[in-house]
Amino acid sequence: MVHAERERERKFSVDEAYEPPDLSDLVRVRADGTDVLVTTYFDTPDLRLWRQGAVLRRRTGGPDAGWHLKLAVLPAEEGPAGMRVRDEIRFPPSADETADTPPAALLDLIRVLLADQEVGPHGCLRTERTRSTLLRPDGTELAELADDRVTVEPRPGPGTGPTGPGTGPGTTSAMVTHFRELEVEDRAGARGAAEVLDAVAERLHSAGAGSAVGSKATRLLGDPQALGPLVPPVPELTPDSPARSAVQAYLTTYFGALRREDLRVRLDAEDSVHQFRVATRRLRAGLRAFRPLIEPGWGDELNAELRWLAHTFAPLRDTEVQRERLLARADRLPDPDLAGRVREFLGRRLDRELADAWDAANRVLASERYLVLHERLRAAAWAPRTRPGPRDRCGDVLPPLANDAWRRLDKAARSLGTKQPDAVWHRARIRAKRARYTAEACAPALGKPAARLAKRLSQLTDLLGEHQDAVVAAETLTRLATTGRVPVLTAYWLGVMHEQERAEAGRARAAFPAVWADVRRPKFRNWLTEGL
């Protein structure tokens, strides 16, 4: 399984005359030799990857030869102590190291970023890299220090952009430039490394090194901000902002979350399916909450596609949750040998169901329909189709929308009792989540009042979520115990686990009145009717 490595590095700009200072009083320095690296950058003609914070490159030479995909996490101005933070995914070199076709599996990872456009080379950097490892006295590796002398070789082309290196799409010249740069890359976040590396950075600065502006790729591809983003920035909101801006901010935020989790799902990263489902659910909730502000046909069609996506991924997430929950419960059975047999039975059955759910999810990720949905969401983030009225201020328009969701929750909550069917409790959970998401959608514009209610509602949805997980776990145990061949003793203990899950559901029901009484206190919801 391919996975991402977190990369933390600081870059320094130096001239050819720069002499690296003595660091021996701070760290041990081990010279690792010099490599010649040729790094070719690949992108679509309009640099879709670069404009979305991603870099695709092929490197020959050095210890990390192969294909690299880098994804921005934090730029230097936001990272700790000027540190750039990126995730890096590596693939081994192609059989032909100079091949201009990236591995298909790598392109699959970034399908939604590419929108199925072809990629090709945009030029290369030739680097003479002198590497040293910075170590503690005990030999623990802290960082790699690289002294890079770089030649920028843009790929000539007939485009219409300005001439010269670093101009992005349309580069028309093969002009070559040179620069020198130092790079300090943290090695796996060794304990206490930050203080030592801060001292190293200060020593480099004292010797005349400046902070590098932009990455090496910027010298070749240009400033991505100047090229224009493919996804709009999230607008800043106040109560006086037009309501349309609240719609745009919400769609932009959670389209970004969905796009981010798409890659993590493809990597099978921890909690990725859950967060993918959350992003999908929040997009649906936003379209529902803002429905009075949105053109009905447009919003309903988009919501229908999101519903399709949510329903497709539901079995995958549900099976993940139940597998983890039930295996943990099996481990708590009184006899270790018995626990092992029950765990083996559950694992075998649920692993098969999980594999089937993954197959279905991967078919969706590979579908044209899914790609079209992403492009529709991108367009929605730029220009949501709202009714004429949403130019009204958020402070007047949003509280009534949140109040509508609250009233539906209040009606459902008042009908709950410990003897009510599971389905009634599940409907109340859905209403609670909608009320919470609506309050969260209002919070960027309305501030603390909406955020406080959303926080209280999150406690309610957590409790109702515990109830629902227990109910589904009990149903799953019943299904597994009554389907196919099940050893008698295993079936008996599945029944015991079933009763334990029903008891968990009962405890959640018993805790509900106190949590609900706290949530509905007037101080958390006065703004719903008084406006802001």
Distance CA 47, CA 65 (A): 23
Fold category of 5-227 in CATH: Hypothetical Protein Pfu-838710-001 (2.40.320)
Q: Which of 368, 377, 365, 369 is nearest to 283 (CA)?
A: 377
Q: Could you report the per-residue pLDDT of 344-373, keeping only the tens digit for each?
A: 999 999 999 999 999 999 999 999 999 999
Distance CA 349, CA 354 (A): 9
The residue ranges of DSSP E strands in 15-111, in sequence order, are 28-43, 54-60, 66-74, 84-91
Distance CA 248, CA 225 (A): 20
The residue ranges of DSSP E strands in 107-247, in sequence order, are 120-135, 141-154, 177-186, 210-211
pLDDT of residue 188: 63
Fold category of 242-388 in CATH: Four Helix Bundle (Hemerythrin (Met), subunit A) (1.20.120)
pLDDT of residue 156: 64
Q: Could you report the per-residue pLDDT of 217-267, keeping only the tens digit for each?
A: 999 999 888 888 898 999 999 999 999 999 999 999 999 999 999 999 999
What percent of the chain stands above pLDDT 70?
A: 92
Res 167 pLDDT > 80: no
pLDDT of residue 75: 57
Q: Could you report the per-residue pLDDT of 173-194, keeping only the tens digit for each?
A: 446 699 999 999 987 666 667 8
- Structural contact between residues 339 and 332, judged by C-beta atoms closer than 8 angstroms: yes
Q: Could you report the per-residue pLDDT of 3-34, keeping only the tens digit for each?
A: 788 888 999 999 999 999 999 999 999 999 99
pLDDT of residue 187: 78
pLDDT of residue 248: 96
Q: Which of 198, 212, 210, 211 is nearest to 27 (CA)?
A: 198
Domain ranges, ordered by start, for the chain? 5-227, 242-388, 393-524
pLDDT of residue 81: 57
Same fold, 5-227 and 242-388: no
Alpha helix ranges (H) inside 191-335: 193-206, 216-221, 224-227, 243-266, 272-289, 296-331
Mean pLDDT in residue range 63-75: 87
Mean pLDDT in residue range 149-163: 65
**Burial environment of residue 476 by CB neighbours within 10 A (0 to 12, 13 to 18, 19 or more):** buried
Distance CA 80, CA 451 (A): 27
Distance CA 354, CA 278 (A): 19
Per the rule left: phi > 0, alpha: psi between -120 and 50, beta: everything else, 516 is: alpha
